[in-house]
Amino acid sequence: MKLKTAAPTRCKHKPIITVDYKDKVGDAKFLTLGRASWNQKGYSAKIWRTVNGHWSRQSEELPLWRLLDLTILLAATIKGKESGLKEFVQNSNDIEAFKSFIRENSEGLKEKLEEIKEILNSND
């Protein structure tokens, strides 16, 4: 059996669950859930990136509640509704282009939201 390459473990964020994300579009290599870098008793999600073959400081770590808030914000935006987050349009010059992007990519985005819905509604 071939071992899979894994996210780094020498960093302060300690991966527990990892997704090999290299085949997806963009520079992200892994998605992980693990011990937070700022609080070893807390947990976070991390997007691991590389630049010129080295792990990038542009890798991003999010507390789990922020990840969920972003998911709520995106779901509300896709559905054309407001969430309980009290969002507002900050840049009215780009809102139409953003709405166009959402419309053009709605099928793929909705598929991911449907997967979330199925997981949350499963009785297992």
Write out the DSSP string of 65-117.
HHHHHHHHHHHHHHHT---TT----S-TTTHHHHHHHHHHTHHHHHHHHHHHH
What is the residue-level pLDDT of the chain in tens, covering all 124 positions? 344 567 766 677 778 888 888 877 677 888 888 888 888 788 888 888 887 877 777 788 889 999 999 999 999 999 999 999 999 999 999 999 999 999 999 999 999 999 999 999 998 7
β-bridge partners, 54? 51
pLDDT (0 to 100) of residue 35: 82
What's the rounded Cα separation, in Å, for the pair 31 and 61?
A: 10
Radius of gyration of the chain (CA): 17
For residue 41, count other CB atoms closer than 10 A to its CB.
6
pTM for the whole thing? Answer: 0.79
In this structure, which amino acid lies at residue 2? K
β-strand pairing of 43-51 with 54-55:
antiparallel
For residue 46, count other CB atoms closer than 10 A to its CB.
23
Q: Using DSSP, state whether 60 is helix, strand or coil.
A: strand
pLDDT (0 to 100) of residue 3: 43
